[in-house]
Structure 1
């Protein structure tokens, strides 16, 4: 139950933290390259996959929605996406196409995964494709402002 992030100095995959809970991540989790979010990290992406992926794998995804999240008082929204090349997810085009129980599972996981660390996480609902696209655009612009030479 490890969480990995790209080390900004080396570009290598680094162990960010070991989970404090026995609850595994219910979905694959990564980030959108060349983006920057309000928390100072790349924009997070929850990738709904049929089979787990290995860390460091580049996956072409199709955003379907956005989960609005506050982590320890800081915006930490997450894009919800599906793999472009997996026909099992071909019918999922918007957040409304995602099974309602799947969204409840996602919400429950993120509301509770930092409880043992005494950190508060708030989920302020799910938003649609337009909001997801706006988050990707905004995070890409923030990245360019900070890193473009």
Structure 2
């Protein structure tokens, strides 16, 4: 199963989008149409890479847009770039999401006592390769971190590309601790402090900042897949989410649309033209360190 992306608009602008196509050239939604499993029998999942490692642009699946292309997050009318909180540079893993999952904002998690963040479940891929934006890879789950982001449950799955040379040696979260000493601590540190330069408080975590193991992580992923099933079948309120899809059968999803309808709709998309980030704009945000004392 292969996927390609179609780039539209200009990078570092409000117009930039990455639309997805399957092997047949049909427009698809990376949120709804890419299967959750690459190999269900082995618990191998698909991951959509939103942000390549070492980069700063906060790219994400646009859950409220038609066919959910990847685009850059915007705050107060400006494109969003994460700050480099010393000693980190940009994102320290390939960052993305598992398709066909959804953290339901109406569901209070029994472990975190907080509701979901209304997004697909996040993944930190820790392999040696720097992936490409929009790449769809197959990952082996190793563990999970329960972050509480502004009062919402925001799970962070730790995984590795099955094609990575290190994948054979990494099978659970304890292997990461043993073979990559300091990496899990750095991950907690990154998520705890990355919003502080924007004037926000440090994020909190359930389980005293401890990572849960592979089995726990897989159960969390499966539960978010069930929430997605209810969403795509219109058994739960979608709110502002855009659930149009081309690959989930019409019998299973009232949001199904034909390939021709999708192609016509993508062709009619009009992108905003306001704001184009210059190199100077970008460099002021991604080329400097942010220092502050840990609490």
Give the shorter-chain TM-score range.
over 0.9
Larger helix proportion, structure 1 or 2?
1
Look up the SS of the partner of 1:61 in the other structure: strand
TM superposition shift of 1:146: 0.9
Q: Which residue of 2 aligns with 1:143?
A: 228
- How many pairs are equivalent? 149
Q: In the alignment, which residue of structure 2 is the partner of 1:42?
A: 120
Match of 2:83 in 1: 21
Q: Structure 2: any 5+ residue segments left out of the alignment?
A: 1-55, 75-79, 104-115, 234-252, 254-295
Relative to structure 1, is the Cα distance of residues 118 and 73 closer, same or farther in structure 2, using a 3 angstrom cutoff? Answer: farther
Match status 1:107 vs 2:188: yes
Instruction: Name the SS for the 1:80 alignment partner.
Output: strand
| 5+ residue gaps, structure 1 | none
Q: What is the distance in 1 between the residues matched to 2:139 and 2:186?
A: 21
Over aligned residues, Cα RMSD in angstroms?
Answer: 1.3
> Is the contact between residue 13 and residue 56 of structure 1 (CA under 8 Å) also seen in structure 2?
yes
TM-score of the superposition, structure 2-length normalised? Answer: 0.49
Determine helix, strand or coil for the equivalent of 2:185.
helix
Out of 94, 97, 121, the position equivalent to 2:203 is 121
- 1:100 CA drift (Å): 3.4
Match of 1:59 in 2: 137
CA contact (8 A) 2:58 2:82 kept: no
Return the alpha-carbon distance in structure 2 between the equivalents of residues 64 and 13 of structure 1: 26
Higher RCO (C-alpha under 8 Å, 6+ residues apart): 1
| TM-score of the aligned structures, taking structure 1 as reference length | 0.93
